[in-house]
């Protein structure tokens, strides 16, 4: 049994990728040799890194692991507070950094808006938005950047509709999100972005209180059990979590399909594969490579021959778990017909992604729209020239995607 006092090899979170869409190879080696290993955090303390699927799933579902205190596994520890919102006001209302019982009532306040049934009611709006964006992209001519023309505006506009803000407000949440997710943002940039964002969100909530409509923020504004800070924090976290992850996933999916021989043609030939393809792409790409919120053991836990002591930090590598060959045979193969159900791309347990049905709907309808309207879609530059996000970013994938289609 390896314990917290063991002084064997300690790793820092591997982030260097050799192939742009494959996890850092070091993670695969760790999964084989030390699936739960000592991890050195940027602030100098030591915890654990999990790369095995079954252990990852078990810890995420285990209520003995809390999300407090918040300790980012990569980046400058001085930025931890701004980056994760771990100060009192920013933390209020943020599901990701709340533990039960607070998490329970916060999640209950919005969960009803994100059920499969409620999300299905948005299908028409999502389809129309897909069609409008593709019309505009075709009119603009080739080459085009698929991220700017399609994969980013789609989830942003859907989020505007869902939360009940005008489409022109897109930039108000896209910019601060980019700053927050970017590991190279300075503390000053993070602080300024947060203040502006909070002002914006408070203004929107005031407006919703004065003239409520049929949208998520009006619904929240009517909720008298939430404090003002909780309302603002919840709204902020929905704005932040709700668009960029989906945008990166959509663009990276197209990149993966176009650069893996035969995959785009297979989907074009049989669009009924789109739904299973989306699940496999979620597994294969795992655009949130590491859980957003480091877990902390609230009791001693023995798991996978390791003794995790109470108060020790645990980081789960979702991208390593989703490439575990014991769970997904031939895991590095993008197999559009694979049953990828059970993947951990949306996390697991009480913090599992609340927006996952919405993300799936956007990914499915977005890919269908592209296959129908742009069947000859191809990269406008060599695959190696397509820029990717910084690998240590909280959401990783294609940054820009120059494409042609005629």
Binding interface with ligand HEM (CB under 6 A): 95-96, 107, 237-238, 241-242, 245-246, 249, 287-288, 291-293, 345-347, 351, 353-355, 358-359
Nearer to ligand HEM, 185 or 253 (CB): 253
Burial class (CB in 10 A: 0-12, 13-18, 19+), 247: buried
Note whether 341 and 137 are within 8 A (CB). no
Minimum gap (Å) between residue 119 Cβ and ligand HEM: 9
Decide if 59 contacts 35 (C-beta within 8 A). Answer: no
The DSSP 8-state label assigned to residue 12 in this structure reads P
Cβ proximity to ligand HEM: between 27 and 405 the closer is 27
95 vs 379, beta carbon nearer ligand HEM: 95
Q: Say if residues 303 and 59 touch (Cβ distance below 8 Å).
A: yes
Give 41 or 405: the residue with its C-beta nearer to ligand HEM. 41
Least spacing, CB of residue 386 vs ligand HEM, in Å: 19
- Structural contact between residues 286 and 20, judged by C-beta atoms closer than 8 angstroms: no
Nearer to ligand HEM, 240 or 405 (CB): 240
Position with the least CB separation from ligand HEM: 355
Contact assessment for residue 42 and residue 270, using Cβ atoms and an 8 Å cutoff: no
Contact 62, 329 (CB under 8 A): no
Alpha helices in 79-169 (DSSP H): 80-84, 88-91, 102-111, 116-120, 123-140, 146, 153-163
- Shortest Cβ 339–ligand HEM spacing (Å): 19
Residue 155 Cβ, how far from ligand HEM at the closest point, in Å? 6
Residues sharing a CB contact under 8 Å with residue 344, sequence separation 6 or more, in sequence order: 53, 56, 57, 60, 286, 316, 318, 321, 322
Task: Closer to ligand HEM by CB, 102 or 138: give it.
Answer: 102
Q: How far is the CB of 381 from ligand HEM (least distance, A)?
A: 25
Residue 302 CB, shortest distance to ligand HEM, in Å, is: 22
């Amino acid at each position: 049994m390896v314990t917290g006092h063991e002084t064997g090899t300690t790793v820092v979170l591997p982030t260097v990728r050799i192939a742009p869409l494959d996890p850092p190879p070091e993670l695969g080696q760790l999964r084989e040799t030390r699936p739960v290993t000592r991890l050195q955090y940027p602030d100098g303390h030591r915890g654990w890194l999990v790369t095995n699927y079954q252990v990852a799933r078990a810890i995420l579902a285990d209520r003995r692991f809390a999300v407090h205190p918040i300790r980012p596994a990569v980046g400058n520890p001085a930025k931890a507070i701004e980056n994760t919102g771990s100060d009192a006001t920013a933390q209020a209302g943020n599901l990701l950094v709340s533990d039960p019982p607070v998490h329970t009532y916060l999640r209950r306040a919005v969960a009803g808006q994100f059920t499969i049934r409620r999300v299905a009611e948005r299908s028409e709006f999502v389809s129309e938005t897909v069609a409008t964006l593709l019309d505009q992209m075709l009119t603009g001519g080739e080459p085009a950047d698929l991220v700017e023309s399609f994969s980013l505006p789609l989830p942003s506009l859907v989020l505007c509709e869902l939360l009940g803000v005008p489409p022109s407000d897109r930039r108000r949440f896209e910019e601060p999100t980019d700053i927050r997710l970017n590991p190279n943002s300075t503390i000053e940039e993070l602080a300024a972005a947060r203040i502006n964002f909070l002002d914006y969100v408070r203004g929107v909530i005031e407006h919703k209180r004065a003239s409520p409509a049929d949208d998520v923020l009006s619904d929240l504004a009517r909720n008298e059990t939430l404090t003002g800070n909780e309302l603002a924090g919840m709204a902020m976290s929905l704005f932040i979590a709700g668009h960029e992850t989906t945008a990166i996933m959509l663009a990276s999916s197209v990149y993966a399909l176009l650069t893996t021989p035969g995959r785009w043609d297979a989907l074009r030939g049989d669009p009924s594969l789109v739904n299973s393809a989306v699940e496999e792409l979620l597994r294969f790409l795992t655009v949130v490579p590491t859980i957003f919120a480091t877990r902390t053991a609230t009791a001693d836990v023995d798991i996978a021959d390791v003794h995790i002591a109470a108060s020790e930090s645990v980081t789960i590598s979702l991208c390593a778990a989703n490439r575990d060959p014991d769970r997904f045979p031939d895991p590095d193969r993008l197999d559009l017909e694979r049953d990828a159900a059970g993947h951990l791309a949306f996390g697991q347990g009480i913090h599992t992604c609340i927006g996952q049905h919405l993300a799936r709907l956007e990914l499915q309808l977005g890919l269908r729209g592209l296959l129908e309207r742009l069947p000859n879609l191809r990269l406008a530059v060599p695959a190696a020239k397509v820029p990717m996000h910084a690998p240590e970013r909280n959401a990783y994938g294609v940054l820009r995607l120059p494409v042609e289609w005629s």
